[in-house]
Amino acid sequence: MRAFIVALIGAVLSISNATAHDGSDCAVAAHLVTADFPLPRVAAAIANKQLDIVVVGSASSLLTAPNGTPEAYPVRLEAALSKRLPGVKVKVTTYAKPRTTADAMEKEIERAVATDKPALVIWQTGTVDAIRRVDPEVFRTAIEEGMDAVAAAKIDLVLMNPQYSPRTESMIGVPPYADAMRLIALQHEVPLFDRFAVMRQWGETGTFDLIEATKKMDTAERVHQCIAELLADLIVQAAKLTGPNARGNIK
């Protein structure tokens, strides 16, 4: 609801810093993706022409075609960033396991930052916590500890909150977890990819049919492609922000 109000008001006031997606219908949600905080290590990595990214997440960061090809947004992000950053070697590594809570992923993050030493960690979490109804305090603490580990390793972080799933909405109480992540991101001045708000916008504007029961991959692939495009925009925008506090740069 909260996200919807934001979306509604955003639409009314025509506040939109959408990067042009010519012909791409997923841009209807672009105003929900704003780079509020900078990513200095990403900026440095871009300058050095080598951008390594690690995605830590659960099953919604995995989408495997029947023939085994990975189709999820991380692979597409690599392509989307390469397109936006010509001459920069972009590498995206995914550590995603189904059924992992934020608490379990936090350990994965500590390991990943130590071995891979990326410039950026994208941490997607919240859905499994919502399904298992993890204590909000435990959820929050896990994320903050993971953030501390990433910050201590001098690595940038982008948080990604749960998917919007209309069909299971009355069974899985996702909004408190999505909201908690918004608040944590704001408090710790870390960019958030508000996947929940973005997908809800797509559902409400009819960009994608998120209710359809299907075994086919096409909608899922297009959704992941759009997530990758908007996420790439967010990363590039945030890398351009300079200074310790970039609030003044929000347009």
Beta strands in 78-172 (DSSP E): 89-96, 120-124, 156-160
Least Cα distance to 21 among 236, 239, 202, 233 occurs for 233
CB 220 to other proteins: min, Å: 4
Complex with other proteins: residue 119 or 163, whichever CB lies closer: 163
Q: What are phi and psi of 138, to 5 degrees?
A: -65, -40
**SS3 for 8?**
helix
Angle ∠(52,55,57) on CA atoms, nearest 5: 170
Does the footprint of other proteins cover residue 168 (CB under 8 A)? yes
Does the footprint of other proteins cover residue 132 (CB under 8 A)? yes
Complex with other proteins: residue 114 or 186, whichever CB lies closer: 186
Q: Using CB under 8 A, which of the segments 2-10, 37-45, 112-120, 149-157 binds other proteins?
A: 2-10
Position among 69, 89, 135, 154 found at the interface with other proteins (CB under 8 A): 135
Q: What is the spatial distance between Cα 242 and Cα 6, in angstroms, rounded to a whole number? A: 26
Least Cα distance to 242 among 84, 43, 85 occurs for 43
Q: What is the spatial distance between Cα 79 and Cα 7, in angstroms, rounded to a whole number? A: 28
Instruction: Show the site string, 62-91: x = touches other proteins by CB under 8 A, - = not.
Output: xx----------------------------
Which residues are at the interface with other proteins (CB under 8 A)?
1-2, 4-6, 9, 36, 58-60, 62-63, 98-99, 127-128, 131-138, 140, 163, 165-173, 175, 179-180, 182-183, 186-187, 200, 203-204, 210-217, 219-220, 223, 247, 250
